[in-house]
């Protein structure tokens, strides 16, 4: 018996709201743009988005997105199915650019603005992006690699572009004085001018369906090199409805104030924060730079936050902030956690300050992303990711694909309308990951007798740093590219700040190799969270009888050293 041929047979409806919908319904909208446009009509005068104290109403948001969509379509010739990268932090320009792309059926490729040129090159080349909307702070990195990509059109924006005139002028002056904007020789379009180049009347709306791709969201999946998960309009709209269903009876349309500190280029913030709450007419507070944590605390001082999302590290940091503790925030209806395991001590500290526990959920990029969440009407179970969301089936199976008994560990597989269409131009990896509709997550989990799920471990060697996937193969490849390096192995070890941190073990080919040389290479080639915290030079690495490096032995050894040091009262 294989999992693809069966159903879990478990009924999770007992945990759903009594009057909540019983199925996914696409009759109101068959693409993301139309769903948002409906909200823009219903809540036209309500605040939609705020960033750096600049606010757009729903009417203004729709108008600006329509203008930018007309520019993309009529001025630079983008058409349905083309790919456009968006590379910026949480500023108003991000949702404007994203909404505009959805209006004309252009596929968005969300890009981490902290990526190195090497990482940018892979993503842009693989996805085939022909246009990019990018913050001017990163233009120098783009210039290094743009000739080796399909990019033809560069739309540049400043962090000050959507601020009031006087504030924008002052900020530009400061940035110019401090020489924060890198010099470049790229031919660019101005985002500001693009918005004023048309009133949007020339826009021609293509037929965009549930089956069309909306986003190429890059992830390592369960193996090595970054891959583009093809998330369709149907996938994302389904997950938006599933999230609305999960919060049924706990939020009110047009009244919530949602803190968005997680980056919008991450699928968690994009779907859970931006899209799911926009269609309900809520007010989104975007935080471009949540750390130092004082930036986030200021948001709580200025706005009556009722909903927020975050990862364990964000909640951990804020609960240790004295200013936040003094605020006595009691307006939050619920806080959602995902991206990495939520530590019970963090949840308890949050509850002590706010009066509410953090609700933990689970998801993957390949599932748009949410598959599980703890029911809001019940006390969250410590360590549990909750139950599957509406329309989602989930099972724990052994290596043969056979369901295991409650309490036994196995691989978590999920099935539902939010599961991706596949990996972009990678049919073999798609076939290995999605089998007859079931997504094999690569996570080891267990389910209790009540149908609650618990993540036990990860099947692969993936490392989770502050909610971001880090894959040893990529880092080992970068380190091994150094001419003085013979081989390298990378593992993840527990870290109280980031969940896990990256450790690298390197065997030199040239005895003159230094740790600093390796560190410099990683700094140049890898974004911050991927860089090894610890680098150790060794004469050899443990291997199997066929020559495979045994990362597990390295991890066990490191944990043993930690344990010994702890027993001796020595910090590691």
Give residue limits of the domains in the chain: 32-200, 209-460, 464-567
CATH topology of domain 209-460: Rossmann fold (3.40.50)
- Give the phi and the psi of residue 488 in degrees, each rounded to 5: -150, 155
Domain 32-200 matches domain 464-567 at the CATH topology level: no
- 228 forms bridges with which residues in the sheet? 218
pLDDT at residue 1 tops 70? no
pTM of structure: 0.88
Q: What class does CATH assign to 32-200?
A: alpha beta
Residues with Cβ within 8 Å of 406's Cβ and at least 6 positions away in sequence, in order, are 446, 447, 448, 449
- Nearest alpha-carbon partner for 371 in 390, 358, 384: 390
**How many alpha carbons lie under 13 Å from residue 374 in its C-beta half-sphere?**
21
| Distance, CA of 382 to CA of 344 (rounded, Å) | 6
- Give the phi and the psi of residue 421 in degrees, each rounded to 5: -75, -20
CATH topology of domain 464-567: GMP Synthetase; Chain A, domain 3 (3.30.300)
Q: What is the mean pLDDT of residues 233-247?
A: 97
- 156 forms bridges with which residues in the sheet? 134, 190
Model pLDDT, residue 379 = 81
pLDDT at residue 4 tops 60? no
pLDDT at residue 19 tops 50? yes
| C-beta neighbour count of 554 within 10 angstroms | 21
Model pLDDT, residue 180 = 83
pLDDT at residue 285 tops 80? yes
Helices (H) and strands (E) in the chain, counts: 18, 27
Is residue 221 very low, low, confident or very high in pLDDT (cuts 50, 70, 90)? very low
Residue 157 CA, chain-centre distance (Å), reads: 22
Is residue 5 very low, low, confident or very high in pLDDT (cuts 50, 70, 90)? low
Is residue 546 very low, low, confident or very high in pLDDT (cuts 50, 70, 90)? low
pLDDT at residue 439 tops 50? yes
| Distance, CA of 69 to CA of 81 (rounded, Å) | 14
Model pLDDT, residue 461 = 79
Residue 297 CA, chain-centre distance (Å), reads: 22
Model pLDDT, residue 545 = 53
Model pLDDT, residue 333 = 95
Model pLDDT, residue 224 = 57
pLDDT at residue 463 tops 60? yes
Report the chain's mean pLDDT, rounded to a whole number. 92
Model pLDDT, residue 222 = 45
pLDDT at residue 512 tops 70? yes
pLDDT at residue 357 tops 80? yes
Model pLDDT, residue 544 = 64
pLDDT at residue 6 tops 80? no
């Amino acid at each position: 018996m294989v999992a693809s041929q069966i159903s879990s047979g478990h009924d999770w409806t007992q945990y759903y709201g009594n009057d909540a919908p019983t199925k996914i319904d696409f009759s109101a909208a068959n693409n993301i743009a139309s769903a948002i446009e409906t909200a823009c009509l219903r809540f036209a005068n309500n605040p939609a988005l705020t960033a750096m104290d600049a606010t757009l109403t729903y009417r203004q948001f729709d108008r600006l997105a329509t203008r930018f969509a007309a520019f993309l379509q009529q001025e630079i010739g983008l058409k349905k199915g083309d790919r456009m990268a968006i590379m910026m932090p949480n500023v108003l320009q991000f949702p404007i650019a994203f909404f505009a792309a959805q209006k004309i059926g252009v596929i968005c490729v969300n890009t981490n603005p902290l990526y190195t040129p090497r990482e940018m090159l892979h993503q842009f080349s693989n996805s085939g992006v022909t246009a990019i909307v990018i913050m001017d702070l990163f233009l120098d990195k783009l210039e290094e690699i743009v000739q080796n990509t399909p990019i033809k059109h560069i739309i540049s924006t400043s962090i000050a572009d959507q601020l009031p005139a006087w504030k924008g002028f002052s900020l530009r002056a400061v940035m110019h004085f401090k020489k924060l904007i890198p010099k470049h020789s790229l031919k660019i379009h101005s985002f500001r001018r693009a918005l004023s180049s048309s009133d949007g009347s020339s826009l021609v709306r293509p037929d965009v369906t549930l089956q069309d791709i909306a986003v190429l969201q890059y992830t390592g999946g369960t193996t090595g090199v970054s891959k583009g998960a093809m998330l369709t309009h149907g996938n994302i709209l389904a997950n938006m409805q599933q999230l609305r269903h999960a919060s049924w009876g706990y939020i009110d349309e047009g009244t919530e104030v949602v803190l968005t500190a997680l980056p919008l280029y991450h699928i968690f913030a994009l779907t859970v924060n931006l899209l799911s709450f926009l269609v309900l007419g809520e007010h989104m507070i975007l935080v471009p730079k949540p750390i130092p944590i004082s930036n986030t605390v200021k948001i709580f001082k200025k706005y009556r936050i009722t909903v927020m999302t975050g990862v364990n590290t964000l909640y951990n940091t804020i609960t240790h902030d004295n200013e936040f503790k003094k605020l006595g925030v009691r307006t939050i209806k619920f806080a959602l956690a995902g991206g990495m395991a939520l530590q019970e001590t963090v949840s308890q500290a949050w509850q002590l300050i706010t009066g509410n526990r953090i609700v933990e959920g689970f998801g993957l990029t390949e599932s748009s992303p949410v598959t599980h969440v703890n029911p809001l009407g019940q006390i969250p179970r410590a360590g549990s990711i909750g139950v599957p969301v509406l329309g989602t089936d989930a099972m724990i199976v052994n290596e043969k694909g056979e369901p295991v008994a409650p309490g036994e560990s196995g691989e978590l597989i999920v099935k539902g309308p939010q599961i991706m269409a596949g990996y972009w131009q990678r049919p073999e990896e798609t076939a290995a990951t999605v089998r007859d509709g079931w997504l094999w997550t690569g996570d080891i989990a267990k389910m209790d007798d009540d149908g609650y799920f618990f993540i036990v471990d990860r099947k692969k060697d993936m490392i989770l740093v502050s909610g971001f996937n880090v894959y040893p193969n990529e880092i080992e490849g970068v380190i091994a590219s150094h001419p003085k390096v013979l081989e390298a192995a990378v593992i993840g070890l527990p870290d109280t700040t980031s969940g896990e941190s990256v450790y690298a073990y390197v065997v030199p080919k040239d005895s003159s190799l230094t740790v600093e040389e390796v560190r410099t290479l990683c700094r140049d080639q890898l974004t911050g969270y991927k860089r090894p915290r610890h680098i150790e030079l060794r004469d050899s690495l443990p291997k199997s009888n066929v020559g495979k490096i045994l990362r597990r032995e390295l991890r066990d050894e490191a944990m043993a050293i930690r344990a010994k040091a702890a027993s001796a009262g020595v910090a590691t």
